[in-house]
Amino acid sequence: MNRRVLALIVLIVAVALIPAVVHSDYILTLCVTAGIYAIVVMGLGILLGFTGQMSLAQAAFFGIGAYTSGWLTTHLGWPVWPAMACAMAMSALVALAVGYPCLRLSGHYLALATIGFGIIAQLVLINWKDVTNGSDGMTGIPAPVIGPWTFEHYNSYFYIVLVAVLACAYVAWRIKTTRVGRALEAIRENEIAARATGIDATRYKIIAFVFAGAYAGLAGSLLAHTTKFLSPDSYSFDQSVVFLVMLIVGGSSSIGGAILGAVLLEFLPEVLRPLKSSYIMVYGAAVVVMIIFMPRGLVGLFESLRARWRRGAPPPLGAAAAAEAEAA
């Protein structure tokens, strides 16, 4: 246990040192974007990874958060921090409104309802020109300010995103390791048994959906204040699919997996740049291959490798019956 915590601290410190060591603006941009995506994917991880509910609307909540934050700061002159909080709240509220009726439905119905909602949301972002400025985009979004410091550049914004990622990971971890997380996982594993065990599955599913929306909304807001420009084209169904792929590749029921998936798939295009446009095909093929051979994603792969390394002996089969016979 302690070794793990130590390794985690070392990792966080190493990441925190990146802006000091790396001077390429381009790479720092990738890092910041990867971190922002990681937050969206962690949110999806709570909903899909823990609770087993599919949503293809994360991009919509991402967009709602981004535009809420952008609008509050550019049109109402709000400072960034309250705008960010409000963006998160707005996404959460919309998620509640959408989730409340839709999470009474199962699997496919939910997936499609989220797709439908996502498409409608994007159309609103494109067409509600008074608020969003439509396809021309929203410009002039300010950078956040703490006291005398303004976080204009990627090398300082990096730390805001890092803190946000760590906070979101902590919350997700706390959910996972307590009664609430167990209830969510029970719902994923066997919803009927979960209900019979006293878990109000519908309520928990809705709450998980709200968390996913809130995470995406926070991430959207973070994006708005770093790119300072928003276009509705980014918040499409395809983008929701990308988030899903990131989660699957990283490992859906793991928080580290969510982060890994986001980072990997953000940097992979760079690595695969020589392949030019065919690299997206690799995405698609990779998804199929992974789901067949590595359904728990990369994290699952690491875990089974590690388990094989350890080679512990399981208790003998039929332990219960043998023990009972002895006692009787």
For residue 66, give every residue at least 6 positions away whose Cβ sits within 8 Å of its Cβ, in sequence order, or none: 87, 220, 221, 223, 224, 230, 235
**Which position among 14, 145, 295, 305 is part of the footprint of another protein (CB under 8 A)?**
295
Q: How far is the CB of 150 from another protein (least distance, A)?
A: 31
Nearer CB in complex with another protein: 120/163 = 120
Q: How far is the CB of 74 from another protein (least distance, A)?
A: 23
- Specify which residues 138 forms β-bridges with: 230
Nearer CB in complex with another protein: 22/119 = 119
Contacts 24+ apart (CB under 8 A), 82-86: 83/221, 84/144, 84/218, 84/221, 84/222, 84/225
201 binds another protein (CB under 8 A): yes
192 binds another protein (CB under 8 A): yes
What is the b/e burial string over 210-237, where b = at least 16 CB atoms within 10 angstroms of the residue's CB?
Answer: bbbbbbbbbbbbbbbbbbbebbbebbbb
Contact at 8 Å (CB) between 58 and 65?
no
127 binds another protein (CB under 8 A): yes
Residue 296 DSSP label: T
d(C-alpha 154, C-alpha 159), whole Å = 9
Q: Is 250 exposed, middle or buried (0-12, 13-18, 19+ CB in 10 A)?
A: buried
Backbone angles phi, psi at 230, to 5 degrees: -125, 140
d(C-alpha 286, C-alpha 289), whole Å = 5
Nearer CB in complex with another protein: 45/52 = 52
Nearer CB in complex with another protein: 135/139 = 135
Q: How far is the CB of 121 from another protein (least distance, A)?
A: 9
302 binds another protein (CB under 8 A): no
Task: Please list every residue from 84 through 113 that binds another protein, using CB under 8 A.
Answer: 101-102, 104-105, 107-109, 111-113
Task: Please list every residue from 264 through 293 that binds another protein, using CB under 8 A.
Answer: 277-278, 280-281, 283-288, 291-292
Nearer CB in complex with another protein: 23/179 = 179
**Which position among 17, 81, 145, 200 is part of the footprint of another protein (CB under 8 A)?**
200
**Which position among 60, 88, 245, 262 is part of the footprint of another protein (CB under 8 A)?**
245
Nearer CB in complex with another protein: 5/317 = 317
Contact at 8 Å (CB) between 137 and 230?
yes
Amino acid at 33: T
323 binds another protein (CB under 8 A): yes
60 binds another protein (CB under 8 A): no
Task: Please list every residue from 145 through 184 that binds another protein, using CB under 8 A.
Answer: 171, 174-175, 178-183
Nearer CB in complex with another protein: 285/305 = 285
- Count of residues near another protein by CB under 8 A: 75
